[in-house]
Chains A and B, each alone.
Chain A
Amino acid sequence: ETGVTQSPTHLIKTRGQQVTLRCSSQSGHNTVSWYQQALGQGPQFIFQYYREEENGRGNFPPRFSGLQFPNYSSELNVNALELDDSALYLCASSLELTGPGNTIYFGEGSWLTVV
Chain B
Amino acid sequence: SQQGEEDPQALSIQEGENATMNCSYKTSINNLQWYRQNSGRGLVHLILIRSNEREKHSGRLRVTLDTSKKSSSLLITASRAADTASYFCATVDIISNFGNEKLTFGTGTRLTIIP
Is chain B a partner of chain A in the same complex? no
